[in-house]
Amino acid sequence: MDGKYNANDLSQIVEADKAHVWHHLTQHKRFEKTDPRIIVEGKGMRVWDQNGTEYLDAVSGGVWTVNVGYGRESIANAVRDQLVKLNYFSGAAGSIPGAQFSERLIAKMPGMSRVYYTNSGSEANEKAFKMVRQIAHKRYGGKKTKILYRDRDYHGGTIATMSAGGQDERGMQYGPFVPDFIRVPHCMEYRAHDQGLGDLSGAEYGEAAANAIEEVILREGPDTVGALCLEPVTAGGGVITPPEGYWPRVQEICRKYDVLLHIDEVVCGVGRTGTWFGYQHYGIQPDFVTMAKGVASGYAAIALCVTTEDVFNMFKDDVDDPLNYFRDISTFGGCTAGPVAALENMRIIEDEDLLENTNVMGARMMDNLNALMDQHKIIGDVRGKGLFLGAELVRDRTSKEPVSEAEIGAVVDACGAQGVIIGAMNRSVPARNNVLCFSPALISTADDIDQITEVVGKALTKVFG
């Protein structure tokens, strides 16, 4: 047989999976007739499934996570050595890798100062929300409790983070949600006409999109708004790169109304966009930065809520108040595997110059996608930063009518059939799940990038002619 494995060897695994595993984001009815994909092994940019079929992974583990690629023995060895020394102690105490990684990380985040360890992106965001709420109670007589979030952004799958979710289809059937999360409009220039801003472009559009945030603050009352939570580049909501002029104005508005700025770097964090953090492209200074996926490339679960010293000080300045500290714990925030894997992940990015590679390969992929756009009218827009890119498919470039989610699924399947795993928006924004997503590992070579876009081109021809 051609494949790496004999399918029969894994038939029991497939049966056990089908009988007992509840897959993420999956309608299971189809597994009555077909088998789920089981990923068995990974090396570099490639993974193999239960049939031994090889795939080039253009989405870093499906959800923009495995930034340094698969099969990194140095991370596995570092984790192993740490686990036999000390695997865990509650985060009320410190650990050697916890202290070391915090120091290394903060050196890359000027203006930031404190690292709170937790174990998922959703949880890291919830920690920031809790801090904002506690600050509202401590500092502002319980008033500044509102947290603004943006249309199309995603901050996690828990009920509180879904309350801050800008993807309506994801939220359907999971309400009621938590009060005092307030939506602001998106900043997607390609669909500015949805906002009545269709005649603006570039910095004019960017400033207008930011001004829409100010309007919401004024409508709600600045004395009620504690924080604004945004993705630097929106991921699952359609790979939305911010327009020119947007971020400086956002920062100005936050300062003007004493609104804390929380940047969700769960996808962009640690190299994905060609800088350590996405926000660092835009010269802004956040109060909270949350991160997870790429921090340890999925070699261990780790997530962080990073704050400034000013925020931190608000939780220790009054020792006479028995409530005056962050009364929160995350059990697995005390696992040492996360920070030790993150340290080695960071070393790899530095020693292999992966930020530079991300910029070079990201530019190549953008050029390739633009070339595809010349050949395929179905591509209405391509966007991206570093190795974080998207292609929006529309039936007609003038009306921008989105293709259906089924057609997007057919493109993803056609790529899979040619041995390349790509991503796509998934039941996120009603009738607008029309963006193909690409986030190959930061180790991508020119051949990998060219293979991905060549396969995408063939898939578009197959599905749309």
Ligand X SMILES: Cc1ncc(COP(=O)(O)O)c(C=O)c1O
- In angstroms, give the least distance from the CB of 46 to ligand X: 23
Using CB positions, name the residue nearest to ligand X: 121
CB-wise, 118 or 308, nearer to ligand X? 118
Does residue 426 contact residue 433 with C-beta atoms inside 8 Å?
Answer: yes
CB-wise, 226 or 237, nearer to ligand X? 237
- In angstroms, give the least distance from the CB of 166 to ligand X: 11
- In angstroms, give the least distance from the CB of 64 to ligand X: 7
Q: Which residues bind ligand X (CB under 6 A)?
A: 63, 120-122, 125, 154-157, 231, 235-236, 264, 266-267, 292
CB-wise, 231 or 448, nearer to ligand X? 231
CB-wise, 134 or 161, nearer to ligand X? 161
CB-wise, 161 or 434, nearer to ligand X? 161
- In angstroms, give the least distance from the CB of 293 to ligand X: 7
CB-wise, 302 or 393, nearer to ligand X? 302
- In angstroms, give the least distance from the CB of 296 to ligand X: 12
- In angstroms, give the least distance from the CB of 52 to ligand X: 29
CB-wise, 293 or 364, nearer to ligand X? 293
CB-wise, 279 or 315, nearer to ligand X? 279
- In angstroms, give the least distance from the CB of 92 to ligand X: 23
- In angstroms, give the least distance from the CB of 237 to ligand X: 9
